[in-house]
Amino acid sequence: MRGFFITGADTGVGKTACTAGLAANLKRRGFDVGIMKPVQSGSEKTGNGLVSVDALYTMTVAGINDPVELVSPYRLEPPLAPSMAAQISGVNIEVHKIEQAYRELCKRHRFMLVEGAGGIMVPVTGRFLMADLAKMLNLPVLIVARPGLGTVNHTLLTIEYAKSRGIQVAGIIINGFNESEAGPAEKTNPGLIEELSGVPVVGIIPYDADLDVDTYKPGRITELVGEGMNWEKLSLPGPEGDNGNAMDINCKGN
């Protein structure tokens, strides 16, 4: 295992915030981390073309510098599911192009964090879903979920679907936990999810009013993920790995 596919119980749950915080902390722990946002819908239109907000946020927070064509090969403007955003934009998403970019990044880094779009059953192209992408890259998934009412159902459904597709679920990260406003649901959800799924909740990341992905404000995301993750519960290889870079395991399908 040389990385994680970061998916969510829903869109807007904090995948990017958590990916950025994880990348920054793994780097601090000695990992050579690369990131990828294979398809960004809702890209920002600038004078230099379409920008992947998620990839740029994560690379900025974690201090990662790779060519945008590798990190986010498909940058689409409509804020829709990737397959639909591509269709409207007249773009043909080719999954082998995503795989090629991933292989290149694997040569550059020992550990990869790949952020999906939306949730695990969101279509990348045609009937090829985010779950198929995680499988193609041979990565276990980390599921980012909301803290409040409704998250037990969304998270358990995501876990069940991943398992039914033969995808390893490495853990759940509850993001946006607000201690002062937490009621019975927020307080009991992590334990209930663990008990019903058998999957560990590997982190509870607090709410931070100073954080905003869309305007590239990091807030305290690095510190919050550093403190909020239960690193012992998360199965990680040694920082140096055992035999080479991320590609050795993920891209050769071991």
* Active-site residue list: 37
Question: Where do we find the tokens 């980390």?
Answer: 142
Question: Residue 211 touches which of Mg ion, ligand ATP, none (CB < 5 to 8 A by kind)?
Answer: ligand ATP
Report the alpha-carbon distance of residue 77 to residue 97 in Å, rounded. 19
Q: Is 176 in the site for ligand ATP (CB under 6 A)?
A: yes
- Nearest approach, Cβ of residue 35 and Mg ion (Å): 11
Report the alpha-carbon distance of residue 52 to residue 76 in Å, rounded. 8
- If the CB atoms of residues 26 and 251 are measured against ligand ATP, the closer one turns out to be 26
Q: Is 16 in the site for Mg ion (CB under 5 A)?
A: yes
Please check whether residue 34 is in contact with residue 105, taking contact to mean a CB–CB distance below 8 angstroms: yes
Q: Is 207 in the site for ligand ATP (CB under 6 A)?
A: yes
Report the alpha-carbon distance of residue 32 to residue 85 in Å, rounded. 32
Query: Stretches 43-51, 80-88, 182-190, 206-214: which one binds ligand ATP (CB under 6 A)?
Result: 206-214
Q: Is 205 in the site for ligand ATP (CB under 6 A)?
A: yes
- Nearest approach, Cβ of residue 17 and ligand ATP (Å): 4
3-state secondary structure of 163: helix
Residue 190 tokens read as 């992590």
Residue 165 tokens read as 């597709």
Please check whether residue 117 is in contact with residue 39, taking contact to mean a CB–CB distance below 8 angstroms: yes
Q: Is 118 in the site for ligand ATP (CB under 6 A)?
A: yes
How big is the site for ligand ATP, counted in residues (CB under 6 A)? 20
Q: Is 15 in the site for Mg ion (CB under 5 A)?
A: yes
Q: Give me the phi and psi of 182, to 5 degrees please.
A: -70, 125
Question: Residue 123 touches which of ligand ATP, Mg ion, none (CB < 5 to 8 A by kind)?
Answer: none
3-state secondary structure of 110: coil
Q: Enumerate binding residues for ligand ATP (CB under 6 A).
A: 8, 11-17, 54, 117-118, 175-176, 205, 207-208, 211-214
Which residues of this protein are in contact with Mg ion, per CB under 5 A? 15-16, 54
